[in-house]
């Protein structure tokens, strides 16, 4: 092979690398690192290892989507957080709060408490135009190494209902781009630098990247967070059915509360989280907290429709509407209530 032919073959690769470098430089300031505090019970049956702790920190990623300081990220990162601090590329640290969170789709919207100067905003792309085989890249903070880029392709696409998993009703993009702990909530970009998905989880036997990463499409994220405008409950818990009778729940199923995030609706209502570590059938959880048996007049059942109906009813509430929740606490059923306010 002559030197001339070799140079001609290298030109496309060099051009592509140079192009990606320019796009990365333009969008990198829109990506943030998110530090959270909050006691989250560790469940070793969780198939998504992106939310586990390392170096005693809970770190994830996010992307700025508006001039007024709104950031898209992953629900599992911030949903039960007590405090949230956002770190920008220039090192600025700004507190934030949750505006809305959709656990079943693993997307959330947080709001900066202060707007930094020269805030750069990412462009949300049309994920319907993303095709299998398209090149994509992810920016995040894997294992705390912030603003790290990894590149891959769209390996597959899944419409709601295609997968029989906890996130089976979400629209997902699968990628082989490297995704690890700390990438949660970070943006997936197309070659034009548009956000086409929010990183959610991986499937892994080792706990690290194995080329099976999943992200929620930008169109679904926009619909759930910007159009439907769900509220933030701040509840972290598990559905119990087999344990319901053992715990003297006066109905076939209930929601065993694990953690309640500070300043959330659940916190204002007065719901109590668990405090006694327990393990049953290799599942770790906390006992001693409230067991929710009814919310907004809807009884807790062990099917997905229950929470779908509750989420829908919550999203329709107005600021002065009352939220009524019945819980089992120390063997007695009590009623708790509060009113939704403008903040949420």
Structure tokens at 42: 């560790």
Cα atoms in the Cβ-side hemisphere of radius 13 Å centred on 180: 16
DSSP code for 125: P
Structure tokens at 136: 């994509």
Query: 209 and 293 in contact (C-beta within 8 Å)?
Result: no
Query: 301 and 332 in contact (C-beta within 8 Å)?
Result: no
| Euclidean distance between CA atoms 285 and 301, whole angstroms | 19
The residue with tokens 């903070």 is 141
Using CB atoms within 10 A of its CB, is residue 338 exposed (0-12), middle (13-18) or buried (19+)? middle
Query: 204 and 214 in contact (C-beta within 8 Å)?
Result: no
**Count of positions (residues) in the chain:** 344
CB atoms within 10 A of CB 243: 18
Cα atoms in the Cβ-side hemisphere of radius 13 Å centred on 6: 3
C-alpha pair distances (Å), 131 with each of 32, 176, 179: 27, 14, 20
Query: 35 and 158 in contact (C-beta within 8 Å)?
Result: no
Query: 272 and 332 in contact (C-beta within 8 Å)?
Result: no
| Euclidean distance between CA atoms 312 and 324, whole angstroms | 15
Output phi, psi for 267, to 5 deg: -65, -45
| Euclidean distance between CA atoms 204 and 279, whole angstroms | 23
Annotated catalytic residues are 76, 106, 184
């Amino acid at each position: 092979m002559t030197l001339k032919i070799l140079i001609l073959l290298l030109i496309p690769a060099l051009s592509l690398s140079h192009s990606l470098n320019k796009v990365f430089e333009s969008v990198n300031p829109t990506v943030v690192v998110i530090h959270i505090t909050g006691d989250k019970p560790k469940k070793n049956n969780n198939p998504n290892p992106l939310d586990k702790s390392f170096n005693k920190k809970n770190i994830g990623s996010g992307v700025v989507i508006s001039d007024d300081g709104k950031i898209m990220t992953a629900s599992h990162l911030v949903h039960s957080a007590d405090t949230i601090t956002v770190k920008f590329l220039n090192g600025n640290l700004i507190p934030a709060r949750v505006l809305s969170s959709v656990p079943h789709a693993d997307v959330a919207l947080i709001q900066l408490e202060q707007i930094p100067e020269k805030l750069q905003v990412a462009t949300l792309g049309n994920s319907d135009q993303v095709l299998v085989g398209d090149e994509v890249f992810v920016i995040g903070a894997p294992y705390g190494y912030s603003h790290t880029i990894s590149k891959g392709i769209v390996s597959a696409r899944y419409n709601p209902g295609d997968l029989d998993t906890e996130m089976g009703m979400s629209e997902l993009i699968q990628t082989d781009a490297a995704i690890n702990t700390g990438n949660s909530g970070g943006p997936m970009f197309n070659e034009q630098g548009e956000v086409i998905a929010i990183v959610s989880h991986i499937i892994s036997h080792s706990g690290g990247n194995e080329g099976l990463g999943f992200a929620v499409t930008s169109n679904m994220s926009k619909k759930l967070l910007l159009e439907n405008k769900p509220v933030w409950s701040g509840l972290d818990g598990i559905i119990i059915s087999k344990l319901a009778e053992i715990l003297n729940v006066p109905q076939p199923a209930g929601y065993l509360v694990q953690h309640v995030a500070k300043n959330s609706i659940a916190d204002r209502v007065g719901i109590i989280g668990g405090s006694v570590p327990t393990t049953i059938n290799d599942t770790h959880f906390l006992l001693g907290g409230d067991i929710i048996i009814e919310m907004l007049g809807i009884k807790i059942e062990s099917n997905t429709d229950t929470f779908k109906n509750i989420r829908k009813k919550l999203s329709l509430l107005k600021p002065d509407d009352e939220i009524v929740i019945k819980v089992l606490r120390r063997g007695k059923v009590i009623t708790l209530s509060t009113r939704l306010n403008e903040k949420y």
